Structure 1
Amino acid sequence: MKFLRPVVAAATVLMLAAYVPKGAPAAVVAATVSVRHQSFDGGQPALSVMTWNVKGLPRPVALGRPAALAEIGRRLGELRRIGKQPHVVLLQEAFISDAKAIGAEGGYPYAAVGPQPEDASASPTASLGDDFRQNASWAKGEDEGKWLGSGLVILSDYPILATRKMAFPQDACAGFDCLAAKGVLLAKIAVPGSAKPVTVIDTHLNSRHASGVSVRRANAAYSWQAAAVRRFVAQQTGPDEDIVFGGDFNIGHDPIRRAAASRDGGFLPQGREAIATVAASSPLATKQNADFVAVEQRAKDKQYFRPARGSQLELGNVDVPFGLANGGFDLSDHLGFVATYRINDSVSAR
């Protein structure tokens, strides 16, 4: 009956939508387009970063996605034409070519692509335990290897100077999520006016109910991945870097996931989270903003930020450019949001 395994796995894909400590470089694509720089009053450089799970899933897992993905690219292009495009866009679930084309349609001259199936180690992950591996369900997409890449893409108006990527091992996942090479993508970006590159990171962690397995199993994989992400970030970054870390963290309101996300100082120790920061500083205004409330209550899409030593990376504002009133959920099942930061370092202070 072993010949049925690929057939069943293929059917599974149609119904749903090695830990590498040192990381590996990611591919970078560059093009030539005009870019309008932005700055705050006083001349400090501004950096706007958008995070968006664009639901770039293959047919028939999700239908109508090419048209919606093309519209996402078109709308980003419209923002560019009026000088309001986010400088950096962190995409998740950009699995299919239509999703990867968002950058070109939106006019982004640089793009870095995250881990691919070959980046996921096939060696057993000892720290997961024998019980976890032995209970893998190939009918739920486990133990079948990776069929898709990570779906992580970083788009940038500014030059990407260096990249690192890390895929979770093939067994460090739960359910249908195992079919994708989820992990982390990091890019160092040369922001005009900044004394040093800004480090931008993108990730997508294991889902809970959508994984198709028990919440307990999904949370076990999630906790392992959260710790792996923390180690990767600690190894790839230092105190002299301005860091923005966004993505679909899939935390939600599950207490196990919330604990895993906050353990050992959180995903970005000594950092702050953009949505929570704005909610705390403007509680009344944010409660009256339906788009902000939708993102906040879902509690999955986030951006963490941390200034470099001797620098001031300050959060200016958070905006949902394609919200509820203009068909945001027609574009994806997530609302993408943009956080704008002020960078005050030795160059901008001159």
Structure 2
Amino acid sequence: MSPPTSDGPPRPLGVGDVVVCPNDLLGEWVAAQITNIDPDWKKVGVLELDWSGPEPSTTDDFDAVEPLRLTHHSWNGRLSHANCDWVLPRSYRVLGRLPLVHDQRSNSYTSRWRVGDQLARQRAWDRGEHDWQETGALELTPAELEQVLADGAPSQNAVRTLNTTGLSEVDGGRLTAIFPNLTSLTLGGSLGQFANAGKLNRLSSLKGLFISDLFGMTKADCLLPAEVPDLEYLDLNSVPHEYALAMRARWRSEVVNGTSVNILKARKPEWVQENLENPLRDWDGRGHITAARFKKAVEQFKKTRRELLAMVGPQPDESTLARLMDLGREYALAFNRLDGRSPFIETEEREELFAALNTVMTERELELGRSLVAERSALLSGVEGARDW
């Protein structure tokens, strides 16, 4: 085992180290080898080994040490090898060190360590179970989650992983009552409200918590290490400022024990109020978008929105279609200029720019009580004909 260093992983790791952990899908222990350490990006290369069994005491407990090659689905014999966050999760331990079984670096990157999951999929594939799916995992729409959390609904004790995005509201009390045995919880909103978030402390088996774009939480809702001692991933993005600071203060000392803490975009109440009707709000704080560009982008969107709402009236009008096409062209040209010599509008941003216009059109349709198919088409045609992004 490597000695601790000031510029190395929080839990000591060295190249050649073999790490082991229990895997729920297999019901056995699994193993991986550390192939490289990148202090600049705070990543380590993790090569899965083709082994599972009872908890090992030393590396001598392995009959052979071979890398895991994947043939399921379209992997075509590639190694299960990726660069992961360099915080060794608390359920993992270093067993010892062996010569590298593969000395090439991986070009694949991921934040989470999930050693054993690919081995479980490969074993199922080898058994002929080509439609095998992970048990205990649910991905629900907001409407489906609301139905599951309704009063009188039965508990779902077998569910271990829950993922829901697009939430406008969710209640932590109901959620933890229905899903008491969660090990991974992902909740995403759209400036949604998260009530009773402190009830997440009931989830004593929780290993991963991922929350984005939800609000209403305060420092009193802070997750406590004593209540969720197995937590390995804490990922908060665009959450209340007060809650973010409290969570960071509570959990940063747990990094050396194996909890990866990633807290970004702590939002103050003023920001939430200002961005209620701003579909480009996620650009604020995005790595490759400067604050100045974000401000100009929002100003341009608001200008286009005002003109669009004023332009589209209760009755269809041919002249309106021509003006909407011009408006779309102006929108595209404005963002061409903003993109400039150092482009920042990539695939995600392009989709968001179109989605922003569609949001305004939908808003106007609801106000007028009629379909705006022709108007929408004219607007977007104007954009398509002039955009460089």
- Normalising to structure 1: TM-score of the pair? 0.27
Task: Indicate the structure whose relative CO is greater, using CA pairs within 8 Å and at least 6 residues apart.
Answer: 1
Choose 1 or 2 for highest CA Rg: 2
